[in-house]
Amino acid sequence: MLKDAQDAYGHLILDYYNGQEIVEIVERDDGFIGTSRLGPLTYLAEFDDWAEHQQVAMDHVTGRVLDIGCGAGRHAIYLQERGFDVLGVDNSPLAIQVCRQRGLKNAVVVPVTRLNSQIGTFDTLLMMGHNFGLVGSITRARWLLKRFHKMTSSAAKIIAETQNAYQTTVPCHLAYHQFNRDRGRMGGQLRIRVRYRQYATPWFDILYVSKPEMEQIIHGTGWTVECYIDASDSTPTYIAILVKTEKR
């Protein structure tokens, strides 16, 4: 569990939820700094304000739902209001606190690497908000996908949002992709931390993948791509609908 001083993400969500103006800072391990005021607004957005591809993805949800990296709970709460049995999990204690304050009935602090069949069996795993990236690396992705296979029903789906990191012309991002390859990592494997005021998360890896890389990663894990849902605004974001294909 994150210590309070490490829960930058949770603090910024809680402050925004309580009406404060905030700036989210994301620091990459090559020194690149990104800032945004839109993150918390997105985290708390109502369904009508979601991107179209995210709205369409909700049509693929069935049965009992596990929202992995649920943040402030926008997807989980939307589905709960429509009668789904939803469990939201996040490694941020304050994000889970906000979820509960917003009315999510079931929300617990669990990092993605601690998920297993002990928390239950699910029909849909949500990895929205680019949260397929929480797999971190190709090795950990394959390990997690096999673990997810054991904690889901026979007709389960994973709704996995990510982005093609290579769909850019920005020199510093292209240089970072090569920097990663030179040290034996996937080009879109970012090492980052979130900062807010005096708070900073530990460094962690987030993995952005192209569609061919997605299919390479899931091969042999018991999952296959049913379809892709592309963002309609020409951004590199897309959602992969993964379905179970075999026993592991």
Torsion of CA 155, 158, 159, 162, to 10 degrees: -150
Residue that is written with structure tokens 């589905």 in the block: 79
Residue type, 64: R
Mean pLDDT, consecutive 10-residue stretches, the chain (248 aa), reads 95 96 95 88 92 97 98 98 98 98 98 95 97 98 98 97 96 98 97 97 98 97 97 91 85
Q: What digits encode the pLDDT tens for the residues 142-197?
A: 999 999 999 999 999 999 999 999 999 999 999 999 999 999 999 999 999 999 99
β-pairing, 65-68 with 122-127?
Answer: parallel
Q: Are 244 and 62 in contact (CB under 8 A)?
A: no
Contacts of residue 26, defined as CB under 8 A and 6 or more positions apart, other chains included, come to 33, 34, 35, 36, 192, 193, 194, 195
pTM of the model: 0.96
> Rounded to an integer, what distance in angstroms lies between the CA atom of residue 239 and that of residue 171?
26
